[in-house]
Structure formats: structure tokens, C-alpha cells
Amino acid sequence: MIQNDGFRHSIMGLTRMFVRVGGCLQSLSRCQTQKIPPLVTGRIRTLGEAKRWQHTAPQSTSCNWQLREDCFELSYGGLVMHFDYVWLRDHCRSASCYNAKTNQRNLDTANVELTIRPVKTRVDDETLFLTWPDGHVTRYGLSWLAQNSYEGQKQSAMQPRILWNADIYTKAKVPSASWEKFMSCNEELRRFLSNFLHYGIAFVEDVPATLEATEIATQRVSLIRETMYGRMWNFTSDFSRGDTAYTKLALDRHTDTSYFQEPCGIQVFHCLRHEGTGGRTLLVDGFYAADKVLQQMPNNFELLARVPIKHEYIENMSDHRNHMIGIGPVLNVYPWNNEVYMIRYNNYDRAVINTIPHDVVQRWYVAHRHLTTELRRPENELWVKLKPGKVLFIDNWRVLHGRESFTGLRQLCGCYLTRDDVLNTARSLGLQA
Ligand SMILES: C[N+](C)(C)CCCC[C@H](N)C(=O)O
Ligand SMILES: O=C(O)CCC(=O)C(=O)O
Ligand SMILES: [Fe+2]
């Protein structure tokens, strides 16, 4: 069972949190925090043992705290938070416990008594002081605790996103980056990455129509992830590899490398040449579709998030022999807030389902059909014709791609990027990623 029903979804920049209240999904805007009843010192709570609440200033309701049997309870900034005592000892940021130069823990956690409790506790202004049995003193800024609390994480998205259908994306008029500025100006790169993080797709225009220039553009963002398809690839419909991508056939929406234990994070496409008809690229926001499933049938969402399935790539060509297997659910969600962070959806490469009993299989197919229905709604389809000069970056953990069948010579180059390095670049430019 999914433990909590909070699932974040953002449309048009407004982050909304869905919480289950009395069996129905209600949405709370992010800035409306929980109303906390004012607490006074010595108030006896009706549930459980009597608890003594303390606060920093007699009239203040901004910070209340109490030492509970099993945790330190802090009410601060509109949030009630609970901190385990071992956690509080383990995260001590004193010079002997934590190296602020390397941002690494010095403390040997294995030496901390699991039943440890502070012998003295005090809150001054914005700081919590804990004295441990051996005399060591730990201090925490209250806002640091709020930022790093489970309750705080539960309420905020790891990655703010704008979920889209064709209309939302088109109306947003997201600008493409321009090659020269993209290569020379960090602000342009930051804007490009911000768009990429919010929408899961982003374009760079006016790129020279060569594989080399495409490589240079991608290296502005990240390291290239080499796979059995090569580092940079340049392919046509010559069936040089044992995969439908190397034909002129239409390809339904899918994510790539679903058969990797860690599917490639980002895919880059640059169409260097097309002399013929068709061949448009299809893009669909998988998270938008997943959110619809969650809203309409939470049980379907849960099945897709809980049931692991396999994807497989078996290639038996004279020059290329590969056998890849990737195992994982269709929707990967963070368990503390139900935020989807990766969708694995490729009906071509989905392997035999043999890891779940038949009654679950039946329910899984219902859930999969539901997601497919959402993914196939025409209003969710964004169609673009890739042209020489226009490089497309796709978040392969979120946005599905496909293509229309085509005629004539069509040459597409590109590569995969390592996701960690894309996010690293984004963070270094001050973006939340
Ligand atoms: C992009 N490139 C042409 C190199 C590879 C295509 C991989 C196709 C595969 N069926 C998948 O979806 O992963
Ligand atoms: O030919 C295309 O536009 C894309 C084919 C594809 O799905 C892929 O290469 O991953
Ligand atoms: Fe693909």
C-alpha cells in the first residue's frame, strides 16, 4: 500500500499538494500551511501521556517544543515536526562531528547509543541546543530543522514542474535558446535548463547541422552517456541495428532504454537531413498523464507505482549482440510524497510479465490501459517537425517521444546524457534540481 496520499502536481507554476481528507482528494495551495492550534506551556493533551509544551517567549506561538518519549517535537513556522533522538545526534554539525570544508560526516554513527536522549535541551531564539550524556553539545538552527524535517519534505516537491498538454505547452510560448548565446552566456544556459526542468523538453536553435556541433551543444549541459548505441549516434532507416528505430515505420510514444536498470536520463535529437515526407516527432508529458491517473483512480496509480515489471532488449545482429534487462515499476515515486520522478513506458520493449500472480496481472493491465488512454489523448500530443539547426533535449524519465512514419532519406543524430551531470549543472547555476 502507498503510505501517504500526498502527490504534488504543478500546473502553470502553482504547486499544489493533494492530500486525502476523509476519503476525498482535496487540494491545498502550497502556501496555506496547516493551521496549528496555539499551544501554551503545560497544556495537557488528551491523547497519550501528559505532555509539557514549552515555547521560547511567553506570548509567542511561533515555536513550541516538547521532549516526547520517542522524539523531539517541534512546532515552528506553521509545521509540527518530529525528530528522532538518534537522528538529532547523528546530524550534529559541530566541528568534531561534521567537516564543513568537505561537507562530510566525521561522526561514527555506529558509536551512537540507539537509545540516546539529551540530558539538557534549550531553545534560544532561533537555535536549539542539545546536551548529550557525554557532555557534547549540538546546536541546530530552527529553520535548518524545518528545511530538513520529514514533514517539510512531505509538503514540498523535490522538483518543481509544470505539467503540460499540447495547449498548456503551446500557450506558455517557452522560448528556445539560441546557439551562440547558449554557448557563451551562463544566463542563457540557466534559462534553458530552467525550461528543461519545468517542462521536460527544451530546444536550442541555430546549431550548425553537424554531429560535431550537436556534441558541443550537449557538452555545454552535461557528460554524454555512452551506451551500446555508441557515444554520439547518427542514424538513418538502414536497419543497421535490430530495432524499429532504424526503420521508416511510425513509433508510438515511449521512453528509451526502459531495459536499463537505470534508463538514460536525457535524450538529445538533431535531425541533420530529411528529404521526404512525414517523420514528425511526437512528445507527451508522461507526468501529466500519470497525474490524471492518480486523480481519477488512485488504485491504478498505486499499481503502476508498486508492481515491478521487466523490459528487455535482445539484439542478434552479426555485428551487434546485446541482451539488456531492466526491472522496475512503470511509475517510480518518492515514497514520502508520492512525487513521480521516472516513468518507464515502452510497449515494444516490455518483457514477459512473470513476477506477479494472475489476479494482480489483471488489475495491472487495467491500470496500464488507464495510463495508455491518458497518454494517447490527442490533446496531450505535442507534434514537432525537427529541422536541421534545431536540437531537442528530452527528459527521458518524464516525456515520451514517438515519430510519424516517413519517406525518403532522414538522418538523425544525437546522444544520451547522464542525468546526474545535467542536474549538477542546473544546481551549479542556482536552480532547484
Ligand atoms: C536512439 N537510438 C537510435 C540510438 C536508439 C534507439 C533505441 C530504441 C529502443 N527500442 C529504445 O526505446 O530504447
Ligand atoms: O526517429 C525518430 O524520430 C526517433 C526514433 C526513436 O524513438 C529513437 O531513436 O529513440
Ligand atoms: Fe526512442
Measured in residues, the chain has a length of 433
Dihedral (CA of 197, 203, 207, 211) sign:
positive
User: Residue type at 62?
Assistant: S
Q: How far is CA 241 from the centre of its chain?
A: 31
Cα 256 to ligand 1 centroid, rounded to whole Å: 6
Given ligand 2 and candidates 228, 248, 267, 269, which is best to mutate, with the most ligand atoms within 8 Å of its CB?
269
Name the residue at shortest CA distance from atom 3 of ligand 1: 245
d(CA 231, CA 315): 18
User: Residue type at 335?
Assistant: P
Q: How far is CA 372 from the centre of its chain?
A: 21
Ramachandran angles phi, psi of 350, nearest 5°: -65, 135
Please give the full DSSP string across 209-276, using - where no structure is assigned. SSHHHHHHHHHTT--EE-BTTBSEEEE-SS--SSSGGGSSS-EEEE-S-TTSSS--SEEEEEEEEEES
- Collapse the DSSP code of 24 into the 3-class scheme (helix H, G, I; strand E, B; otherwise coil) and give the result: strand
Whether residue 243 has its Cβ less than 6 Å from ligand 1? yes
Cα 207 to ligand 1 centroid, rounded to whole Å: 23
Whether residue 257 has its Cβ less than 6 Å from ligand 1? yes
- Collapse the DSSP code of 371 into the 3-class scheme (helix H, G, I; strand E, B; otherwise coil) and give the result: helix
Task: Give the CA diameter of the chain.
Answer: 80
C-alpha cell at 123: 531553545
C-alpha cell at 134: 557525554
Q: Are 243 and 315 in contact (CB under 8 A)?
A: yes
d(CA 375, CA 290): 8
Tens of each residue's pLDDT in the chain, 433 residues: 333 333 333 322 223 333 222 222 223 233 233 333 332 222 222 233 334 566 554 444 489 999 999 999 999 999 999 999 999 999 999 999 999 999 999 999 999 999 999 999 999 989 999 999 999 999 999 999 999 999 999 999 999 999 999 999 999 999 999 999 999 999 999 999 999 999 999 999 999 999 999 999 999 999 999 999 999 999 999 999 999 999 999 999 999 999 999 999 999 999 999 999 999 999 999 999 999 999 999 999 999 999 999 999 999 998 999 999 999 999 999 999 999 999 999 999 999 999 999 999 999 999 999 999 999 999 999 999 999 999 999 999 999 999 999 999 999 999 999 999 999 999 999 999 9
Given ligand 2 and candidates 225, 239, 251, 313, which is best to mutate, with the most ligand atoms within 8 Å of its CB?
251
pLDDT given for residue 318 in this prediction: 87
Pocket of ligand 2 (CB under 6 A): 245, 251, 256, 281, 401, 403, 412
Cα 5 to ligand 3 centroid, rounded to whole Å: 32
Q: Are 47 and 117 in contact (CB under 8 A)?
A: no
Cα 307 to ligand 2 centroid, rounded to whole Å: 27
Q: Give me the residue label for grid cell 508510438.
A: 252
Name the residue at shortest CA distance from atom 9 of ligand 2: 245
Ligand with an atom nearest the CA of residue 281: 2
For residue 103, CA distances in Å to 107, 255, 402, 420 come to 12, 36, 43, 19
Nearest atom of ligand 1 to the alpha carbon of 349: 10
- Collapse the DSSP code of 326 into the 3-class scheme (helix H, G, I; strand E, B; otherwise coil) and give the result: strand
Given ligand 1 and candidates 239, 257, 322, 393, which is best to mutate, with the most ligand atoms within 8 Å of its CB?
257
d(CA 427, CA 213): 25
| Closest by Cα among 397, 416, 81 to 230 | 416
pLDDT given for residue 28 in this prediction: 29
pLDDT given for residue 9 in this prediction: 33
Strand pairing class (120-124; 127-131): antiparallel
Name the residue at shortest CA distance from atom 3 of ligand 2: 403
Q: Are 36 and 75 in contact (CB under 8 A)?
A: yes
Q: Are 262 and 354 in contact (CB under 8 A)?
A: no
ipTM above 0.90, yes or no: yes
Ligand with an atom nearest the CA of residue 313: 1
C-alpha cell at 277: 515526407
Whether residue 411 has its Cβ less than 6 Å from ligand 1? no
- Helices 286-296 and 298-306: crossing angle in degrees, nearest 10, is 130
Cα 288 to ligand 1 centroid, rounded to whole Å: 23
User: Residue type at 65?
Assistant: W
